Amino acid sequence: MLVLTQEDIKKAITMREAIDAVETAFAQHYLQRAAIPLRTRIHCTKSDGDVLFMPAYMQDLDGVGIKIVSVFPRNAASNKPTISAIMLLNDVTTGEPLALMDATYLTALRTGAASGAATRHLANQDAARAAIFGTGAQALRQLEAILEVRNLVEVMVFDIDPGRVGSFIDTCAKELSRFTFSLKQAADPDEAVRAADIIVTATTSRKPVFHGHDIKNGVHINGIGSYTPEMQELDALTVSRADKLVVDAYDASLKEAGDLIIPLEKGLITTSDIYCEIGKITSGQAPGRENKEEITLFKSVGIAAQDIAVAKIIYDHALAKGLGQQINLS
């Protein structure tokens, strides 16, 4: 079995390759070429954290495996990662384990890639300004993915802890130096979204992080932080204003996404307001953005197909490049 560290993974795959892989995963999910059970969530009450078990089988990619990911928001107070994960990839012919890899970076990578894919199809081509809510591991990869598909000139960053924004901007300057754009700290949510062509919410908030009346026509929004019925980054007005409301997985979104469940329960939107799954767009079965004034919203809870698709490429590339360490468990 091949063991791959975070550094191995960074050498094995680029963000653009991850975006293309996730687009394929979404398409295969929509076309029912994948087996993806709803994730199992175990809540750890003492620490208010979640451990998620996410298996999947991708028929056309010859990929099968499981990701185990933990989300512990309180870790931020002790300068520990709020998200940590491992990925086990199996041989589709024999069932034997092929690889065990760090999935903390993989999770941020594939989640960023999902927003990259959605932005590619749903944001205006000339989108130049973005707003990022949150400064954790997800936020950096979200920004990287958007920069891969749109030529941004300015990014406003907001976090409920202003002290984290400065270090986040410094990290972006180092890791995203191949792109030319400016990063600024927003004083409040209104300043962040007022001129934004693209908005990303990457938080674990249980209350909306900005007001729907502050967004402009033509904006594209990637809501990627909330993954339980109680979490809500987007208010009902934002969701109801969307001309195209797109989800990664219909069933999972209606069971897990508080951004949708809460306004649905209040009768502020209906399930018919959901335009389609993103895979219908990436497979060419439905159009993405159709005019410059549309407000588009991609709500993602994350599906295991993304992990398998990206992990399979990582594994194949790692073998070709001689990355990682082979171990024998027997």
pLDDT band at 267 (very low <50, low <70, confident <90, very high): very high
What is the chain's mean pLDDT, rounded?
96
pLDDT for res 77? 87
pLDDT band at 305 (very low <50, low <70, confident <90, very high): very high
CA–CA gap between residue 330 and residue 181 (Å, rounded): 51
Active site residues: 67
Do 123-302 and 2-106+305-326 have the same topology in CATH? no
Answer yes or no: is pLDDT of 291 > 90: yes
pLDDT for res 136? 87
pLDDT for res 23? 97
Answer yes or no: is pLDDT of 330 > 90: no
pLDDT for res 130? 98
What 3-state class would DSSP assign to 67? strand
- The β-bridge partners of 101 are 4, 87
What 3-state class would DSSP assign to 137? helix
- Helix or strand run (H / E) with residue 133: strand 129-133
Q: Give me the percent of the chain exceeding a pLDDT of 90.
A: 94
pLDDT for res 299? 98
Q: pTM of the prediction? A: 0.92
For 109-162, write each residue's pLDDT tens digit.
999 999 999 999 999 999 999 999 999 889 999 999 999 999 999 999 999 999
For 26-84, write each residue's pLDDT tens digit.
999 999 999 999 889 999 999 999 999 999 999 999 999 999 999 898 998 888 888 89
Among candidate residues 224, 285, 220, 261, the one with its CA nearest the CA of residue 29: 285
Strands 83-90 and 97-102: antiparallel
Q: How far is CA 322 from the centre of its chain?
A: 29
Neighbouring residues of 62: CB distance < 8 A, sequence distance ≥ 6: 92, 312
Q: What residue segments make up the domains of the chain, in order of their start?
A: 2-106+305-326, 123-302
Mean pLDDT of 286-295: 98
For 147-205, write each residue's pLDDT tens digit.
999 999 999 999 999 999 999 999 999 999 999 999 999 999 999 999 999 999 999 89
Answer yes or no: is pLDDT of 16 > 90: yes
CATH classification for the domain delimited by 2-106+305-326, as one of 3.30.420.40, 3.20.20.70, 3.30.1780.10, 3.40.50.300: 3.30.1780.10
Residue whose tokens read 């599906």: 303
Answer yes or no: is pLDDT of 227 > 90: no
- The β-bridge partners of 213 are none
CA–CA gap between residue 22 and residue 43 (Å, rounded): 28
Answer yes or no: is pLDDT of 329 > 90: no
CA–CA gap between residue 306 and residue 21 (Å, rounded): 8
pLDDT for res 76? 85
Among candidate residues 125, 128, 225, 139, the one with its CA nearest the CA of residue 176: 139
CA–CA gap between residue 5 and residue 83 (Å, rounded): 16
Mean pLDDT of 304-309: 96
User: Angle at CA 240, nearest 5°, toward 265 and 124?
Assistant: 140
User: Angle at CA 165, nearest 5°, toward 162 and 170?
Assistant: 150
The structure tokens listed for 85 are 């994960």
List strand residue ranges (DSSP E) for 163-295, in order: 182-185, 198-201, 220-223, 244-247, 274-277
What 3-state class would DSSP assign to 285? coil
- The β-bridge partners of 66 are 55, 88
What is residue 51's DSSP assignment?
E
Answer yes or no: is pLDDT of 214 > 90: yes
User: Angle at CA 177, nearest 5°, toward 155 and 3?
Assistant: 110
CATH classification for the domain delimited by 123-302, as one of 3.90.950.10, 3.40.50.170, 3.40.50.720, 3.30.70.420: 3.40.50.720
Question: Would you say 18 and 113 are in contact if contact means Cβ atoms under 8 Å apart?
Answer: yes
Answer yes or no: is pLDDT of 21 > 90: yes
Rounded to whole angstroms, the maximal C-alpha distance in the chain is 60
